[in-house]
Amino acid sequence: MEIYLFVAILGGTICALCASSKKRSGLGWFVIGFLLPLIGFILIIVLPPGEDGLQEPIHEGFATPVTKPAATSLDELQKLADLRDRGVLTAQEFETKKRQILDRV
């Protein structure tokens, strides 16, 4: 029993540290790593990093991912328009980039 508890805590801690470095919930991955140390470790290693800056707290101590593709796209389009207005981009380059941004939304 003591060995499993040690392995569970160690597994949870390792999963939480890996998750935090990948911008994912450290607490959630600690629980997964605590309950299933080997499986949790394998899962967090193969998962891609989470989105940067897309977590907003909804309750003290908790966070949920909130994506804002429209706001990000609008910012990109405004920057492109500024580059076009300053003569850095041609009208054709602007239209090509604009289409790429709008296709992602």
**pLDDT confidence of 61, banded at 50, 70, 90?**
low
Stated pTM of the model: 0.46
DSSP designation for 88 = S
Tokens describing residue 4: 């499993």
- What is the average pLDDT across 57-73? 58
Q: How many helices and strands (H and E) does the chain possess?
A: 5, 2
- What is the average pLDDT across 41-60? 68
Q: Does residue 92 have a pLDDT over 70?
A: yes
